Each structure stands twice: as structure tokens, then as C-alpha cells.
Amino acid sequence: MDMQVAKKKLGLKERYQVMTRGLDWTPSYQKMEDIYPYAAYEGIKIHDWDKWEDPFRLTMDAYWKYQAEKERKLYAIIDAYAQNNGHLNVTDARYLNAVKLFLTGISPLEYMAHRGFAHVGRQFPGAGPRVACLMQSIDEIRHAQTQIHSLSNYNKYYNGFHDFRHMLERVWYLSVPRSFFDDAVTAGPFEFMVAIGFSFEYVLTNLLFVPFVSGAAYNGDMGTMTFGFSAQSDEARHMTLGLEVIKFILEQDPDNLPIVQRWIDKWMWRGYRVLTLVGMMMDYMLPKRIMSWKEAWEVYFEENGGALFKDLARYGIRPPKWLDQISFDKDHISHQAWATFYQYGAAAAFNTWTPNDEEMDWLSQKYPNSFDKYYRPRLEYWREQAAQGKRFYNKTLPMLCQTCQIPMLFTEPGDPTKICYREVDYQGSKYHFCSDGCKEIFEYEPEKYVQAWLPVHQIYQGNCFPEGADPTAEGFDPLAEVLKYYHVEMGRDNLDFEGSEDQKNFDQWRGQATKNA
Amino acid sequence: MAVAALRKYEFEPADAPAKFHGAQLLYVGWEDHLMFCAPFAFPLPPTMPFRAMVEQVLPGAFGYHPDFARIDWAKAEWFKSGRPWTPDFDKSLADNGLGHKDVIRFRTQGLTGIAGSCS
């Protein structure tokens, strides 16, 4: 007698169906809009969530298995790196300051991305994107963890690695990446996906990760390089999701186009402004350079991004606004940013320096239109002054842009000798901006940006001193008190690299490793 | 446009004048001297004479620059929100029409920074 035996295992396709969309159900006693309250208010119209094409076919059980395997390899390498004093193999202790910038400015954003995708993964009415966002949310928290674990090794030996989480919500320049992400996670789910899933993860991510990961590889930092490579397969998935989201939204309803276009304009500009920090890192902070910021922008944005926007033209999407200005500014922003950190080096949680002769020549060669004319004289003057014991520390607080929160250091489109000033009157108050992009973003949603926690204004309001500090007391030193509030230790975490504790220790330890004395 | 929101979306600005303990913010930039990376923000009493701002506040902020000692203030050109403007040095900031978060700039003819680079 023939017996019908149930198949023990599902086929790959069935299994995927059952383990993702099969987990969804249609509610019977609750209304859809009560379950998904954020699905409609942004104005995006979705008629059929089942049209969502899952960009990758991964089920949760396969996800755990695959990620666990990757993580085991990663931690084996990190352990070996730590046990073999791998930190002494980096090119030069100046390099570590790029890593400090990454840990304080970027790793916390991975955590914020985790929160953002978890939120969106709850709020989309479609099961397909919910599962994809759930996985990305777990990726992001893993990335935050592996980055913190990899970099914690440096905290045993060097300054400035000790309190990144505390610093994120306080230190002036960290308000730039922080407010960028706060802006995204406080938007609705569709805007978040266009902001982070598409604009950041798809279009700009190469400009963030390639410089840091290649920079690590070029500068002997095996630990950072390894987590970069480990994250790469996840990033490929994130990029696919980002692109799928855009296409899905645009295919659902023609009314979605202007909304999505505005978000692309906004978030490309916001992301580009945050990347100023990366440009400065590439041109000034890596002892062994990979490529210039300008070259990176040309390859990863102008060429790759150009092809993408050609592809999206069939949906009616045009390239983001303000590209002419960005194209002009690629000769300038990294120099303008480093000059800012150099002069406010007393208030930064890393060391700063002037480039040496060889590095200046590299900059001249990479920036023939700008470096010798506008930036070399400034840097050489500072270097001479420092040699005479008059290292420049700017002690007066700068004016900030209301939107990107960067000091007003950017220049007029087409004229690198004039600071770009833009202002708006809103409800009887003045608001100031570094650019047309930041101004227009404010004008569209002023209610949001009037709440900006601008570090300079907060200091002047008296909100950035440690508990118990008395600004009216005689001899009150505001800078010293602000540094205490930041948990930045004067003379250790900040000031010039020349003469720093990191420099001395690194030289001594490397000397012990390579010499007999 | 207004922000898209589910409910009423109204919040107090973070930088309302009342939060600065009697001071108001004034932003000051020096044209052609980008060695100072950005204009400065100062919390100043509105009653402060303009002259006191120039003689007592600005030197602490801009004095590091070798051009600063060469400034002839009588010839300096001033701009408010980018438009030419003439301050009265003997009047207060408020009487000069300067309110909270106003931005002024000055240009000092003949002084164009380190080696003429606008630094």
C-alpha cells in the first residue's frame, strides 16, 4: 500500500514564502489605520503592498546562521589583532585620530539606524518591507557592537576613545552627525527610508565606508579593516533595499513623485554636509592617503551616482539639487573643515596638526585650483606661529548653521574668499544658514528646525557646564567647564598632536617593539 | 510649507531671547579673513555701546591676526544682513537697531589676509 508521506523539508521558495509573508495576517477586529498609524500622513499613496519585490530572499533562521559564522571570524581576527599589539603596526599615531572621529561620529549612527529601521519595520503595512527592515535593523545594531568592540582595544592605550556615547549628545561637532540622524528618525517611515535607506545607504555609503575601511587598510589598522569587510555583505543588502524602496514608492502612485523628489533633494544635501567630516579625514588625517576627497566624490558620486540618476529618470526623478555648488566646492570643503578643527583644537576630543611639507605637496598636486592659492598660506602661517610657541587656538565660539549645525565655514558658490551667509525671518526671529540647501530645508519645515540644539547657543544659555558649576563665580573658566561637561580631558584628549600623550606613548612603545634600547 | 504631522506640531524655539539671561546674540564676521573659519557668535547686553563691542570684544576674538592691529576703524565698511550699513559707535547695540541673532560684517580696505590669500 502506498503511503503519502509529508515532505520533511520545504523547498527554498516555499520556505521563504512561509517564513516571511506567511507570517502576516489580516486583522479582523482592529482597523488597519489603528495598527499602522504612520502609514498615510506623509502623503505617500500605496495601493498594493504585495507588489513589493523582496530584494533579497533571506529568512530569519538563515540570517542568524550566516551572521553567526561571520561574527566568529571577525572576533577571531580582532582577538589576534589585540593579542599581537596590532595597534603598534599603524602607520603613525596621528592615524588614530581618524579612528576616534569614526567611533564618536559614525558608530553611534549605526545604533540610531538600528532604532530607525526597527521603527519602520513595525510601521509599514506590507509584510515584505517589514521583514527586510527588521533584518537591516539587526544588521545595524550588530555593526554598532562590532565597531565598538573592535575599537575598544584602542581605548586601553590611547586618549579620546573613552566616552563616545556621552560625547555624542554634547560635543559641538558631534551635533552634526547626531542632528542629521535625529532629523531622519523623527520623520515618517517613508521619509526615513528615502533619507537613510536610499540617499545615505545607497547613494552616499561608498563615500563613507570606502575611505574609512581603505584608510584602515592603507594605514595598517587590521581591526577596523576587518569590521569593514565583515559589514560589506550586509551593506550590499542595504543598498538593494534602498533602491527597491524608491522604485516601489514611485511605481505605486504618480502623486508620490514630487514628495520623493523633495526628500532626495533634502537628504542628499544633508548627507553631503555630514560627509564634510569624511573629506577632511581623507585629505588631512590619514598619514598614508588613499585618494583625495575630490577624487572620491568624482568616482563615487559623479560617475556612479550619475548612472543611478540616469536610471531613475524613467520614473521622473531628476538628479538632486545644488550639484553645481557641490561640484565647485569639492576643491574646498576638506581644507575649510580641517582649518576649523585645527583652530578649535582645544575643544575637540582628538588631536589636530598642520600637514608636513610632503603632505602639503600632495595637497597641491591633488588640488591644483585651490590649495596653494587659498589654503597653503593659512597652514604655513599657523605652522610658523606654532614653531614660535604661538599655536593658534580660537577661543571664541563660531556662528552655526541652523540646519546642518556646522560652523558657518562654507563659502559662496563660485567664490572661496567669501563666507556664504543666508538668513530667514520666521515668527519674529532670525535664522541663519550656510547655504541655499540648508535654508530651503528649513523653510519647508521651520517648525522642526527652530528646535535645533545648537551647541554654541546652548553654551551661551548656560546649559553645557557640569552640575554645580557657577558661571557667576570669580575666575570661572567657561572653556574648561565645557570640556568637563563633554568629558574631554584638557591636555590629554585635545590640543595639538605634536607633544601629545598619544604621540609620546606610541613612539615609545613602537621603539620597544622594534629596538633594543 | 508646514511640517507633516499627525497632531498639532508646535514647539518653542530653542533660542528664544529670554533664554540668554539678558544678553542677545550678535554674529560678527570679518570679510577677507577666513583664517577665522566662521563668523563669531557673541552674547552681549543690548545696552552695550557699539564702540565697546569694537574696542573690548572684537580684539579678544580677532586679535590673533596680524592684520587686526592695522585696522583703521574710521574707514571700515559695515554690513548688516549683507547690506551696507553705518553703525553709530556711540549708541548702544539696541539703538543701532541690532536685535537678537542679527549678523553684521566688516570689511577693512587694503587688508586681505595672510599673503593676500583672504586667510
pLDDT above 80 (res A56): no
Summary mean pLDDT of chain A: 94
For A38, nearest residue in chain B (alpha carbons): B6
The 10 Å CB-count burial string (b at 16+, else e) for A126-135 is: bbbbbbbbbb
Convert the pLDDT of each residue in A64-99 to its tens digit.
999 999 999 999 999 999 999 999 999 999 999 999
Average pLDDT score over residue span A310-317: 96
User: In this complex, which of A344, A378, A448 lies closest to B119 when CB atoms are compared?
Assistant: A378
CB atoms B11 and A451 under 8 Å? yes
The 10 Å CB-count burial string (b at 16+, else e) for A312-321 is: beebebebbb
CA distance, residue A515 to nearest chain B CA (Å): 42
pLDDT bracket for residue B37 (50, 70, 90): very high
Residue B107, pLDDT score: 98
pLDDT above 80 (res A4): no
Convert the pLDDT of each residue in A175-201 to its tens digit.
999 999 999 999 999 999 999 999 998
User: In this complex, which of A41, A409, A451 lies closest to B38 when CB atoms are compared?
Assistant: A409
What domains does chain A contain, in order, with CATH numbers? Answer: 56-352+394-514 (1.10.620.20)
CB atoms A411 and B82 under 8 Å? no
CB contact residues (below 8 A), chain B span 16-45, against chain A: 16, 19-21, 23, 25, 27, 29, 31-32, 34-43
Residue A184, pLDDT score: 98
In sequence order, which ranges of A107-174 are alpha helices (DSSP H)? 107-123, 127-155, 164-168
| Three-state SS at B47 | coil
Average pLDDT score over residue span A93-118: 96
CB atoms B37 and A400 under 8 Å? no
Residue A460, pLDDT score: 96
Chain A residues with beta carbon closer than 8 angstroms to that of B14: 450-454, 457-458
Residue A329, pLDDT score: 97
Average pLDDT score over residue span A240-244: 91
Residue B33, pLDDT score: 98
- Residue ranges of domains in chain B: 22-116
pLDDT above 70 (res A360): yes
For B8, nearest residue in chain A (alpha carbons): A447
pLDDT above 80 (res A470): yes
CA distance, residue A397 to nearest chain B CA (Å): 6
CB atoms A430 and B103 under 8 Å? yes
Average pLDDT score over residue span A32-53: 95
CA distance, residue B59 to nearest chain A CA (Å): 11
C-alpha cell at B62: 580677532
For B20, nearest residue in chain A (alpha carbons): A461
> Cβ of A166: how many Cβ atoms within 10 Å?
14
Chain B residues with beta carbon closer than 8 angstroms to that of A339: 34-35, 37
For B7, nearest residue in chain A (alpha carbons): A41
pLDDT bracket for residue A517 (50, 70, 90): low
User: In this complex, which of B10, B15, B41 lies closest to A398 when CB atoms are compared?
Assistant: B41
CB contact residues (below 8 A), chain B span 63-102, against chain A: 64, 81-82, 99-102
pLDDT bracket for residue B1 (50, 70, 90): low
Residue A516, pLDDT score: 81
CA distance, residue B99 to nearest chain A CA (Å): 9
pLDDT above 80 (res A6): no
Chain B residues with beta carbon closer than 8 angstroms to that of A451: 11-14
pLDDT bracket for residue A7 (50, 70, 90): low
Superfamily the domain B22-116 falls into: Phenol hydroxylase (3.10.20.560)
Convert the pLDDT of each residue in A324-349 to its tens digit.
999 999 999 999 999 999 999 999 99
Give the span between the Cα atoms of A150 and A103, in whole angstroms.
10
Give CA separation, A64 vs A135, A139, A240, in Å. Answer: 10, 11, 20
pLDDT above 60 (res A124): yes
In sequence order, which ranges of A253-393 are alpha helices (DSSP H)? 256-274, 276-280, 293-296, 304-312, 323-329, 333-343, 357-366, 376-387
CB atoms A445 and B2 under 8 Å? yes
Q: Quick one: residue B28, left, alpha or beta (phi over 0 = left, psi -120 to 50 = alpha)? A: beta
Residue A1, pLDDT score: 57
Convert the pLDDT of each residue in A407-439 to its tens digit.
999 999 999 999 999 999 999 999 999 999 999
Closest by alpha carbon to A438, among A192, A264, A266, A279?
A266
The 10 Å CB-count burial string (b at 16+, else e) for B32-45 is: bbbbbbbbbbbbbe
- Which residue type, as a one-letter code, is found at position B67? D
Chain A residues with beta carbon closer than 8 angstroms to that of B64: 392, 394
For B22, nearest residue in chain A (alpha carbons): A461
CA distance, residue A173 to nearest chain B CA (Å): 14
